[in-house]
């Protein structure tokens, strides 16, 4: 039996969904998993052997793109679907594409579109368990073990990235410290730029043979300048010159990765790279990587958790985290 599995829409959520994908395959080996994902997220799932096929969609809700996605999915004539997304439009898309047996959470007034349904568990459940519960409902079986979120990077991918970094002037004999100072969600989840700049200067002045790699989306290039203009030391940007897959491969070469609550923090953890996660307006117990290779620095505030994209007051949850605290955590990891 083939099943359409609609992936989440964020990089970190995609990583957190991988254990559930592996559980689905383990509990029902005869199932052919056809992952339906946005074009921009394909890179996260490459080389995951439990996925039999990937179908790429725009993921947009405007009529033109929605119609194209419906026609594309309908051509596969798959009648069973599992939604890792919560939106009405994702359920509507699958139903119009001919999926009759649809499993998902009752959210966004879409319950009538679902055959197997489960009430949304609320805010107390970690995101990876959120996906695992859907697999249990779909398979009607209990999970029997822990499943890995491991990302698969080929040897050739690493060789090609080392070559690309060398051509950019990065000494591959040095060790890499990756820093992801931005989040797709908004500024509220970001540690202040000047603190990242202070941290970079401290690392370069005190840790010899280190290369600082700054990760960001192409749209972050101007924001990176707000960090590097106050830095006394050279850094290298992993932005518009690198695809998402190349960025993931580059993270696999880092000695340590430092990040806000972002998708790339989950990528680093899934690649078994020691990482530091800087949290403020979001709850680590709900969205942080759960593996021991990630150190979480979190300062709760009376207004957190919040859902603001831009802090309307003084950003106290992130401002209260000092540069020295992050550097000391880095020093502990390296030693």
Per-residue pLDDT of the chain (335 residues; tens, 9 = 90+): 999 999 999 999 999 999 999 999 999 999 999 999 999 999 999 999 999 999 999 999 999 999 999 999 999 999 999 999 999 999 999 999 999 999 999 999 999 999 999 998 876 789 999 999 999 999 999 887 889 999 999 999 999 999 999 998 998 889 999 999 998 888 889 999 999 999 999 999 999 889 999 999 888 888 888 888 767 678 899 998 999 999 999 999 999 999 999 999 999 999 999 999 999 998 898 889 999 999 999 988 888 888 788 988 889 899 999 999 999 999 999 98
CA distances from 46 to 41, 52, 106, 157, 172 (A): 10, 11, 30, 12, 25
Beta carbons within 10 angstroms of residue 183's beta carbon: 24
Q: How far apart are CA 272 and CA 266, in angstroms?
A: 10
The DSSP annotation for 83-117 comes to: ES---HHHHHHHHHTT--EEEEEE-TT-GGG-SEE
- The reported pLDDT for the residue numbered 234 is 81
Closest by Cα among 185, 157, 161, 165 to 265: 185
Do 148 and 22 meet the contact criterion of CB atoms below 8 Å apart? yes
The DSSP annotation for 25-62 comes to: HHH-TT-EEEEEEEGGGHHHHTT-TT--EEEEE----S
Q: Any idea what DSSP says for residue 192?
A: P
- The reported pLDDT for the residue numbered 208 is 82
- The reported pLDDT for the residue numbered 220 is 86
Do 24 and 99 meet the contact criterion of CB atoms below 8 Å apart? no
- The reported pLDDT for the residue numbered 230 is 67
Sequence-distant (≥ 6) Cβ neighbours of residue 48 within 8 angstroms: 18, 21, 151, 152
Give phi and psi for 159, each to the nearest 5: -60, -45
- The reported pLDDT for the residue numbered 299 is 86
The SS3 of residue 312 is coil
- The reported pLDDT for the residue numbered 62 is 93
- Beta bridge mates, 118: 105
Sequence-distant (≥ 6) Cβ neighbours of residue 308 within 8 angstroms: 186, 188, 281
The SS3 of residue 278 is strand
205 is written with which tokens? 């002045």
Record the pTM: 0.94
């Amino acid at each position: 039996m083939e099943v359409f599995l609609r992936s989440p829409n964020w990089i970190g959520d995609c990583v957190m969904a991988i254990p559930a994908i592996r559980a689905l395959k383990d509990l029902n080996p005869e199932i052919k998993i056809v992952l339906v994902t946005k074009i921009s997220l394909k890179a996260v799932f490459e080389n995951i052997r439990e996925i039999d096929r990937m179908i790429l969609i725009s993921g947009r809700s405007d009529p033109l793109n929605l119609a194209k996605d419906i026609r594309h999915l309908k051509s596969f004539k798959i009648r069973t679907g599992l939604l890792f997304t919560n939106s009405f439009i994702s359920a509507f898309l699958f139903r119009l594409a001919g999926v009759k047996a649809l499993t998902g959470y009752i959210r966004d007034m879409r319950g009538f579109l679902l055959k197997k349904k489960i009430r949304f568990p609320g805010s107390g459940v970690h995101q990876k368990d959120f996906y695992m519960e859907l697999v249990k409902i779909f398979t009607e079986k209990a999970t029997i073990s822990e499943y890995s979120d491991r990302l698969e990077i080929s040897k050739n991918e690493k060789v090609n990235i080392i070559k690309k970094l060398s051509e950019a002037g990065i000494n591959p004999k040095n060790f890499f410290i990756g820093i992801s100072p931005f989040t797709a969600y908004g500024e509220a989840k970001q540690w202040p730029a000047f603190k990242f700049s202070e941290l970079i200067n401290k690392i370069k002045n005190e840790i010899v043979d280190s290369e600082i790699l700054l990760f960001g989306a192409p749209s972050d290039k101007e924001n990176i300048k707000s960090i590097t203009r106050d830095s006394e030391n050279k850094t290298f940007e992993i932005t518009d010159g690198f695809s998402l897959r190349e960025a993931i491969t580059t993270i696999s070469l880092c000695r340590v990765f430092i990040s806000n609550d972002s998708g790339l923090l989950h990528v680093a953890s899934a690649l078994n790279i020691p990482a530091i996660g800087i949290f403020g307006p979001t709850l680590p117990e709900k969205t942080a990587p759960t593996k021991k290779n990630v150190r979480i620095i979190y300062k709760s505030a009376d207004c957190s958790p919040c859902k603001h994209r831009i802090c309307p007051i003084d950003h106290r949850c992130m401002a209260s985290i000092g540069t020295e605290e992050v550097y000391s955590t880095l020093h502990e990891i390296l030693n």
